[in-house]
Amino acid sequence: MKPASWLRFLYPPHCPGCQAAVRAHGVWCADCYATIWHPRLIRGSRKGCLDGCYALGDYRGPLRQALIDLKFYGKLSQAAAFTRLLEEFPWPERWCRVTTVLGVPISAQRKKERGFDQTEEIFREFFRLRGIGWREGLRKVRHTLPQSGLQRAERAANIKHSFAYEGVLFSPYDTVLLVDDIYTTGCTMREAARVLHRAGAGRMVGLVIASGAD
């Protein structure tokens, strides 16, 4: 038996949402896929320095649980499930316009607690394989309260002045893709975009795995 076959025998692939048997690791079963898959440009996301944000799915049910498993329980194997969704992004020609990708970072304290940055785990290798550079330099310089328990106005105040950019300045001709795991009100991504704009970034577009917004 080939090594890959042994691995499938010892570690059979399961749907990341419901654990049903599937054909390969990271593949969603038909029921979970139908529940979560909702690619769109989020309504109202064209605001501030951000020229809109795309979401792949709805932040509910199995997709919400898969993100929680990755972020809070360290199940890094779930990253393969998000790669599968990224591969099915319905407008792949738009990657051709992107010159650089940056992840919305977590604080150094949060990264130390978790041992990883979930945005890097989800997106970095995917874009590297497509020849799109991942740029360092965006930092979370102020540890903030979790955004999940705050109202809209509180979220904006909580995240304000929490990012800094310490990398190479951008060209005005750059098209920057700013990526994160979840988009709720957009406060976090817009604040990151504002900081990058001050560093010379021109057009900035967002991409997230999931959102509860339309």
Listing DSSP states for 50-109 in one string gives: EE-EEEEEESSHHHHHHHHHHHHH--GGGHHHHHHHHHT-S-GGGGGG--EEEE-PPBHH
Q: Is 159 helix (H, G, I), strand (E, B) or coil?
A: helix
Residue 4 counted as domain residue:
no
Residue 39 corresponds to which tokens in the numbers above?
Answer: 């690619």
Q: Is residue 3 part of a domain?
A: no
Is position 70 within any domain? yes
**CATH at 90:** 3.40.50
**Residue 57 resides in a domain:** yes
Number of domains in the chain: 1
> Does residue 7 fall inside a structural domain?
no
Query: In this structure, is residue 22 part of a structural domain?
Result: no
Is 89 within a domain?
yes
Angle among Cα 83, 98, 135 to the nearest 5 degrees reads: 75
> Where in the sequence is the domain holding 105, given as residue range(s)?
38-211
pLDDT at 7: 44
3-state helix, strand, coil in the chain (%, to 5): 40, 20, 35
| pLDDT tens series, the chain, 214 aa | 344 444 454 568 999 999 999 999 899 999 999 999 999 999 999 998 999 999 999 999 999 999 999 999 999 999 999 999 999 999 988 888 899 999 999 999 999 999 999 999 999 999 999 999 899 999 999 877 666 666 677 777 778 889 999 988 898 888 999 999 999 999 999 999 999 999 999 899 999 999 999 9
